[in-house]
A and B are shown apart, each in its own frame.
Chain A
Amino acid sequence: MARTMFEKIWARHVVAEGPGGQTLLYIDRHLLHEGSTAAFVRLARTGRRVRRPDLCVATADHYVLTSPGAPAPDAEIRDMVQSLGDNTARQGIVYFGQGDARRGIVHVIGPEQGLTLPGMVLVCGDSHTATHGALGALAFGIGSSEVEHVLATQTLWQRKPKTMRITVDGRLGAGVSAKDVILAIIARISAAGGVGHALEYAGAVFGAMSMAERLTVCNMSIEAGARCGMVAPDETTYAYIKGRPFAPDGEAWERAVAYWKTLPSDAGAAFDREVRVDGAQLAPTVTWGTSPQDALPITGRVPDPAATADAGRRASLERALAYMGLSAGMALTDVTVDRVFIGSCTNSRLEDLRAAAAVAKGRRAVVPAWIVPGSGLVKEAAEREGLDRIFREAGFEWREAGCSMCVGMNGETARERERVASTSNRNFEGRQGKGARTHLMSPAMAAAAAVTGRLTDVRQL
C-alpha cells in the first residue's frame, strides 16, 4: 500500500503498541538546551539514569547573552547556562557550551553539525523542533515531562497524528522568500489548522528551495498548530548533509543515501487533508496582529474589525489592533518601526544574513537593528564573507549567536510599546518583551524596515 513519508518513518520506530492505541516510539536523537534543567532535576530525584547519553547533544542558546562581555543581568540567567553544563558533564552528554564555535541555536546546529538526518525521529524540549523536518526527519517539540521520559527511556508514548500535505506549485516572484511562503500558509490554514496533524510540504516551490529555506518553512509548522512538518529528502538534502561532522561517510554514506531515497511519500499515498497554494500568487508578507495567522501581503491594509461578522473574531481583532497600536484600514507600508531584530531559529542562517546584507549594503539603518547569527559557525562564515562589515557600516549591531530577542529569556527584550520588525516566529503579546509589538517578516524585509524606519516592500526599495 502506498505510504506517506511520515508513515514510513513512524513505522520504523515503533517499539511497542501500548495500551489505548498509543505507540511507544523510539527516539534517535534528543537535543537539549538550558530549558532541560527541570527534567534533569526530576530524573535525579527519582534516582533514574539517562538511558542513552550517547544519543543526546546539548547546546546553550536560550539564556546566553548575545552582547559579548556584558555582565549577566541576573544570577538566575547565569545559573540556567551553568546547570546545563553541569548536568551534561555529569551524564557524559556532548555539550557545545560558551566558547565553542559550534554553540548556537539548537535548531540551527542540529542540521549544521549533521546531527539531524533523514528518516530520524528527533525531539527537543522546544516547539520549533519541527525545523529539523526540512531534512526529511520526523522531528517534534516536547514538554519537560517528555524530555524526562526520553532521558530515562529513549522512547515516547505518542498517538499517531493525522497527515496533511501542503502543496505549493508554481514559481515564487522576485523578492518572495521562504518566510513569505510559510506566513501565507499559516494565514491560509490558521494558527489552529495543523492541530493534530503531521505536515508534509510538497510541490515545485519546496523542491526548488535550498536547505536554509526549507528549514525556515518547517520551523513555523508549530505556528500553524502542527507539531511536525517535513520536506522529502532529495539531492539538495544529500548535498547539504555530505561532509558534515556527524554525518555518515564512506560505505555508511552510500547505505544511508540508498535508504533515504526510500523515504519520500509514495505516489498515490493518501493524506487526511490536502491544501494547495499557488506560489506565483505570493508576495512579501508581514504580520499585523498578535497571532502568526494575522499575516498579509505588504501591499495590504490593516483589517477592519467592523467588517467581521463573528463577534468572537471581532473582539479578538479589536484586542490585537489595540495591543499593536494600529488603526483599521491603515496601509501596512505606513507602519513605522522602532527596532529591527534579524535572527532566531527561523531566520539566522548564513543565507538569511546574506539576504539581509544585500539590502543593508550601502544603506543606513535609521532604527536600532540587531543581527544575531544562529551559531558561532554561521557567525564565522558570515565574517569570512565580510557580511559583518556590511552590517556594521550600515549601522547594524553584529552580535553573538543565541535565541536573543525572539523570546527574550536571556533578558534581551524590546521595551514596552516598542514596535519591532522581526525575522522570528511569534508575534504573540509580550513575546519579545512585556508590551512589545512584533511584526514578523523575512530577513530582506526586516533589513528594508531598518533602513527606512517603516514596513517596506523590499521589491520597491
Chain B
Amino acid sequence: MQAFTRLTAAAAPIDLPNVDTDRVIPARFLRKPQGSAGYERFLFHDVRFDADGKERPEFVLNQPGFRGAKIVVAAENFGCGSSREAAVWALAAYGVRVVIAPSLGDIFHQNCGKNGVLAVILPAEIVAGLRRELHARPGATLSVDLEAQTVTAPDGAVHRFEIDPFRKQMLLSGQDDIGLTLGYEAQIAAFEASHRAAPPWLSAAP
C-alpha cells in the first residue's frame, strides 16, 4: 500500500450529501480488473461524462481549477451504499489521496485506509466552510499533514482532525495489514482451539 504522510494539492468540493458508491463508480465497471488501463475514467462516470463520452461541464472535476484535484472535500455520508472497493480504486486511479467529509459510509471509510487514501472527518461547519472557500477560489490548495493530524485551509486556518491511531500508523508506514495480522498466528490458533471446544457449531465445516 502507498504510504501517506503529507500532501499539498488542489481540492475539489462536492456539495451533495449522501453521494453513494454507485455514483462514484457505476456497477457496469465492476467487472473491469482493479488497476486496469483507463480505470480513472470510471470515476463518477455517469455524472462526469455524457452519453457520447464528452465531459459534462457542470461536473466539478471538469472545471478549471478542480480538474485533477488530489483532495475531495465532500458532504455528509459520502461513500454510502455499496461496499464496492472499486469506488476507492477509481478515486485513487484519478489521483485522489484525501477525502474530507463530516461523515463517510462505514465500509467506504474502511476501504479508503486499505488503499492509501486518507479519510479525514471534520465537523460539518468546517467542511462546509472549506467547500465555500474552494468554490470562491477554484484551484486553491489544501495542506494535509497526517503526522500532525491537521488540514490547513486556503485562508491559512489550521483544523486538527482525529484519526484512529491504528489507521494512522498503517497509512504512515504503508504497511500491509495482512502481514501484521499473520504475526498474530499463535493467538488465532489458540482462539480457534477454544472456540471449537465451546460452541462447536460455530466453527464446524459446512
Contact = CB atoms under 8 A, between A and B. Distances in A.
Contacts, number: 197
B188 interface: yes
B135 interface: no
Interface in B157-202: 164-169, 177-178, 181-182, 184, 187-188, 191-192, 195, 199-202
B18 A192 contact: yes
B22 A255 contact: no
Contact of B83 (A141, A152, A153, A247): A141
B54 interface: no
A408 interface: yes
A225 B46 contact: no
Nearest to B124: A312
B22 A191 contact: no
Given A117-B202, A152-B181, A431-B22, A20 B164 contact: yes
B82 to A, nearest CB: 5
Interface in B26-78: 26-28, 30-34, 46-47, 75-77
Interface string B80-104: 1111111010000000000000011
Contacts of B200: 248, 252
Contacts of A77: 31
Contact of A408 (B18, B27, B167, B201): B27
Interface stretch (A22-30, A200-208, A382-390): A22-30
A154 B82 CA distance: 23
A429 B46 contact: yes
Nearest to A153: B181
Contacts of A76: 31-32
Interface string A140-158: 0111111011001111010
B107 A143 contact: yes
Contact of B77 (A48, A225, A312): A225
B8 interface: no
B2 interface: no
B81 A428 contact: yes
Nearest to B115: A145
Given A15-B188, A120-B202, A127 B46 contact: no
B139 interface: no
B182, B204, B205, B206: which has the most chain A beta carbons within 10 Å? B206
Given A18-B166, A115-B206, A153-B182, A426 B22 contact: yes
Contact of B166 (A142, A149, A157, A227): A157
B147 interface: no
Contacts of B205: 54-55
A160 to B, nearest CB: 11
B23 interface: yes
Given A24-B187, A191-B77, A192-B103, A408 B28 contact: yes
Given A20-B168, A259-B199, A157 B30 contact: no
A246 B80 contact: no
Nearest to B191: A15
Contact of B201 (A21, A144, A256): A256
Contacts of B177: 149, 157
A222 interface: yes
A111 interface: no
A330 interface: no
A319 interface: yes
Given A15-B187, A149-B177, A192-B103, A54 B206 contact: yes
Interface string A184-220: 0000000110011000000000000000000000000
Contact of B23 (A18, A195, A255, A430): A430
B15 interface: yes
3 closest A-B pairs by beta carbon, nearest first, are: A20-B165, A20-B166, A145-B114
Given A26-B188, A153-B182, A191-B18, 5 more contacts: A28-B202, A38-B85, A127-B82, A196-B103, A312-B15
